[in-house]
Structure 1
Amino acid sequence: MANGCDHPAACHTGEAPVLASATVGARHWLLIEHPGPWAASLDRCRLPGAMRTLLDRAAALGIRGQLIRRPGSRKAAPGPIHVFVASSRSEEPWVAEGFFENPNDLDLDALGHGVVPESCILVDKPVFLVCTHGKRNACCARLGLPLARHLAASLPGEVWETTHVGGDRYAANLVCLPHGLYYGSMSQAAAIAAAHAYRRGEVVLDRFRGRAGIPEPLQAAEHFTRVHTGELSVDGVAVESSWAEGDATVCVVRCTSQRGLSRFRVVVEPTVFSAPCGETCAEAISTYRLAGLSPLMPVST
Structure 2
Amino acid sequence: MADDRCAHCPGSHTGERPCLASATTGARSWLLIEHPGPWPERVEDTDLPEPVADALGRAGRHGVRVQFIRAPRGRRPTPPLWVYTGFSGDTAPDGRPVTPWLEARELTAPAELGGLDLAAVAAGRPPGFGRPVPGPLLLVCAHGRRNACCARTGAPLARALRERFGAQVWETTHVGGDRYAANLVCLPHGLYYGDLDERRAVAAARAYEYGEVVLDRYRGRAGLPEPVQAAEHFVRAHTGVLAVDGVTVESMVAGTAVVRAGQARYRVRVERAGLGGCGAGCSENLATYVKRDLALLNGAALV
Normalising by structure 2, what TM-score? 0.90
Question: Is the counterpart of residue 88 in structure 1 residue 88 in structure 2?
Answer: yes
Seen in structure 2, the aligned counterparts of structure 1 residues 198 and 243 have a Cα distance that, compared at 3 Å, is same
Identity score, percent: 52
Equivalence for 1:112: 122
Seen in structure 2, the aligned counterparts of structure 1 residues 284 and 94 have a Cα distance that, compared at 3 Å, is closer
Structure 2 counterpart of 1:228, which letter? H
For the Cα contact (< 8 Å) 2:3–2:145, is it kept in 1? yes
For the Cα contact (< 8 Å) 1:133–1:140, is it kept in 2? yes
Question: Is the counterpart of residue 189 in structure 1 residue 191 in structure 2?
Answer: no
User: Using the alignment, how far apart are the partners of 2:225 and 2:265 within structure 1?
Assistant: 19
Deviation at 1:284, TM superposition (A): 8.2
1:227-263 Cα offsets, whole Å, 9 max, x none, are 000111001011001111xxxx00000111xxxx000
1:80-111 Cα offsets, whole Å, 9 max, x none, are x4201110004211111023432221111111
Q: Of the candidates 236, 247, 251, which is equivalent to residue 257 of structure 2?
A: 251
**Secondary structure in 1 matching 2:104:** strand
Deviation at 1:75, TM superposition (A): 2.8
User: Using the alignment, how far apart are the partners of 2:241 and 2:67 within structure 1?
Assistant: 31
**Secondary structure in 1 matching 2:158:** helix
Question: Is the counterpart of residue 172 in structure 1 residue 173 in structure 2?
Answer: no
The 5 A counterparts of 1:62-77 are 62-77=63-78
Bigger mean CA deviation after superposition, 63-72 or 116-125: 116-125
**Secondary structure in 1 matching 2:7:** coil
Query: Which contiguous aligned blocks of 4+ residues in structure 1 show a shift greater than 3 angstroms?
Result: 274-277
1:276-298 Cα offsets, whole Å, 9 max, x none, are 89xxxxx9820100011000169
Question: Is the counterpart of residue 262 in structure 1 residue 275 in structure 2?
Answer: no
Question: Is the counterpart of residue 132 in structure 1 residue 142 in structure 2?
Answer: yes
User: Using the alignment, how far apart are the partners of 1:237 and 1:23 within structure 2?
Assistant: 19
For the Cα contact (< 8 Å) 2:139–2:171, is it kept in 1? yes
User: Using the alignment, how far apart are the partners of 1:276 and 1:225 within structure 2?
Assistant: 30
Equivalence for 1:209: 219
Unaligned runs of 5+ in 1: 278-282
Structure 1 counterpart of 2:271, which letter? E
Seen in structure 2, the aligned counterparts of structure 1 residues 266 and 145 have a Cα distance that, compared at 3 Å, is same
User: Using the alignment, how far apart are the partners of 2:56 and 2:182 within structure 1?
Assistant: 25
Structure 1 counterpart of 2:99, which letter? E
Normalising by structure 1, what TM-score? 0.90
For the Cα contact (< 8 Å) 1:131–1:173, is it kept in 2? yes
User: Using the alignment, how far apart are the partners of 2:26 and 2:76 within structure 1?
Assistant: 31
Bigger mean CA deviation after superposition, 184-193 or 69-78: 69-78
**Secondary structure in 1 matching 2:129:** coil
Equivalence for 1:60: 61
For the Cα contact (< 8 Å) 1:7–1:169, is it kept in 2? yes
Unaligned runs of 5+ in 2: 91-97
CA RMSD of aligned residues (A): 1.8
Number of residues paired by the alignment? Answer: 285
